[in-house]
Amino acid sequence: MLKKREAEQQELEMVSVESLVPSGHLLRKIDSAVDFSFIHERVKHLYCGNNGRPALEPVVLFKLLLLGYLYGVRSERQLMREVEVNVAYRWFLGLKLRDKVPDASTLSQNRRRRFSESTIYQEIFDQIVLLAVSKGLASGSVLYTDSTHLKATANKNKYDLAEVQVKPQQYLAALEAAIGEDRAAHGKAPLKQSDPEPETKEIKVSRTDRDSGYMVRDGKPKGFFYLDHRTVDGRHAIITDTHVTPANVHDSVPYLGRLDRQRERFGFDIRAVGVDAGYAAAAITEGLEERNIYGVIGYRTPTHRDGYFYKREYRYDEKLDVYICPNGQLLSYRTTNREGYRQYHSDPEQCRNCPVRHKCTASNNSTKVVTRHVWESSRERIDRHRLNGVGKRIYKRRKETVERSFADAKQLHGHRYARMRGLTRVQQQCLLAATAQNIKKIALLLSRMGAHTPFLLLLALASAYRGQLRRYQRLETANRD
């Protein structure tokens, strides 16, 4: 029998916020896994201790911010409306059913004034990474790095052209030393010290967000963007670093510095890294070898002129320090230039009558020149890692870790767009988004591990037994021999 249901919203019920939140809710798992009380001590110095109106508890304030990133709520006003009606949000924040929700301006004014120049966002992120390390969810032994673009709040058609000075790369001092050593090893005089005019280039500067960079990349949209350079741990894809630059900064520029930062801050013993072809540069491979890190880098398609030989067809003989052309001629060393490239020249007398000259060079002096970077050997050694079994296993995990992390960030946590303007504020956004992803992953992993603790204990005992058995067998074999 169809019966019309009567409205019963006016009835009084004795309930508590605690009883209304499901036991398996994500926020319950986060609350049990992460203790946010450390935030209070980190920001105490930013508040007045004995004057002014009572402030919103900083732990509640940052929990509010993290809620917005956890559930992809981009608007702070919309977030306050969600907190008003969502019992789980109220429970997570420690609010009762009748407590007044803070105004959205409370969040925005604290961001703009109290925390604008502080390092609290980085400190919170670091503390969560350290929590993951202490729980065994991250080790830092294998790291994966990539970048993704966030669209700036700026019209790509409204810009000014500006001449800016090209900043010298951090590795230039090491490169100059390597050039000097290479020239000395070949019996060449040191290059004369020059004081050239500062190098400049013309760039597009947005009239709305001057910190953003105009991005022009194959397969990517053109316009003003920021780049989030993110590093994740290979064990459970815990984000261990996030660093923001304008979109016109190459991926390889901040890479080594961010690796060093993680080693110093978290004490990581980085054994291996996996990156895509955007990091395939001699300076990167040399830096990885200096740090004793096993690098696996994606294949970069070399530039090639149709109808001519590929550079790989000119074989380098390390013992003789010569290149051998496809027709068997030796290209001998001539000099090392200021850019760090050795130049190997052919004999023009042989090239003039060469039957494959049309596929080799079109120079008027009939000379083929092949260049080789002073750090090219490190590039070749690390390129070979991609082809062996260990390298293939490491690189295969890249799409399951850092690429998956970016996909989740864009799909679930509002990471497609820069919510604010300015490099500092976008850096804060990326830190909060990464922190939200980390606490979510930590909570889910710990809840699963807790449910399977007996099984995991048995698995660990079985593994230890197998290890002891193998050691016993090796000893028995040694005794027999």
Residue pLDDT, tens place only, 127-153 = 999 999 999 999 999 999 999 999 999
| Mean pLDDT of the 36-63 span | 85
Compute the distance between CA of residue 214 and CA of residue 430 in angstroms, rounded to an integer.
19
Please check whether residue 12 lies inside any domain of the structure.
no
- Whole-number Å distance between alpha carbons of 288 and 252: 12
Give the helix ranges, DSSP H, for 206-291: 255-266, 282-290
Of 118, 138, 172, which closes a domain? 118
Q: Are strands 239-246 and 272-275 parallel, antiparallel or unpaired?
A: unpaired
pLDDT class for 456, splitting at 50, 70, 90?
very low
Do 395 and 282 sit in the same domain of this protein? yes
CATH no. for residue 275?
Answer: 3.30.420.10
Percent of the chain with pLDDT over 90: 59
Q: Which residue has the higher pLDDT, 335 or 112?
A: 335
Mean pLDDT over residues 315-341, rounded? Answer: 92
Do residues 249 and 135 share a domain? yes
Q: 291 with 401, same domain? A: yes
Report the alpha-carbon distance of residue 264 to residue 257 in Å, rounded.
11
Cα separation, 67 vs 83, in Å, equals 9
Whether 3 is covered by a domain: the verdict is: no
Confidence (pLDDT) at 146? 95
Instruction: Inform me whether the pLDDT recorded for 354 exceeds 60.
Output: yes
Q: Out of 108-122, 402-416, 440-454, pick the least confident.
A: 440-454
For residue 433, what is the DSSP state? H
Structure-block tokens of residue 455: 């099984």
What is the three-class DSSP state of 422?
A: coil
Which amino acid is located at 425 in the chain?
Answer: R
CB neighbours of residue 93 within 10 Å: 20
User: Are 107 and 143 in the same domain?
Assistant: no
- Whether residues 103 and 131 fall in one domain: no
Q: At what angle do helices 453-480 and 423-451 cross, to 10 degrees?
A: 80
Query: For position 474, what pLDDT does the model report?
Result: 54
Q: Identify whether 182 is part of a domain.
A: no
| Boundary of a domain, candidates 118, 142, 169 | 118
Look up residue 47 and give its amino acid: Y
pLDDT surpassing 50 at residue 469: no
Q: Is residue 165 part of a domain?
A: no
Residues 25 and 101 grouped into a single domain: yes
Distance CA 250, CA 236 (A): 27
Q: How far apart are CA 39 and CA 55, in angstroms?
A: 14
For the chain, how many residues are written? Answer: 481
Check pLDDT > 90 for residue 17. no
* Average pLDDT of span 473-480: 51
pLDDT value for 472:
47
224 and 371 inside one domain: no
Higher pLDDT, 197 or 350: 350
Q: How far apart (Å, rounded) are the C-alpha atoms in residues 369 and 334?
A: 9
**Is 191 a member of any domain?**
no
Which tens digits make up the pLDDT trace of 168-209? 677 788 888 888 888 898 888 888 876 666 678 888 899 999
Tell me, what's the pLDDT at 26? 94
Same domain, 371 and 397: no
The answer to whether the beta carbons of residues 376 and 383 sit under 8 Å apart is no
Q: Are residues 53 and 136 in the same domain?
A: no
**Residue range 219-252, pLDDT digits in tens:** 888 999 999 999 999 999 999 999 999 999 999 9
Are 343 and 352 within 8 A, CB to CB? no
β 142-151/159-165 pair status: unpaired
Looking at 349, 376, 403, the residue that finishes a domain is 376
Q: Is the pLDDT score of 305 beyond 50?
A: yes
Cβ 265 vs Cβ 126: under 8 Å: yes
Mean pLDDT computed over every residue of the chain? 87
As for how many domains the chain has, the answer is 3
Q: What is the pLDDT of residue 196?
A: 62
Does 37 lie in the same domain as 106? yes
- Range(s) of the domain holding residue 402: 127-158+207-299+386-443
Q: What is the mean pLDDT of residues 338-348?
A: 92
Residues 106 and 144 in one domain: no
Q: What's the farthest any 2 CA atoms get from each other in the chain?
A: 104
6 lies in some domain: no
Q: Does 272 lie in the same domain as 142?
A: yes
Predicted pLDDT at 465: 46
5 occurs within a structural domain? no
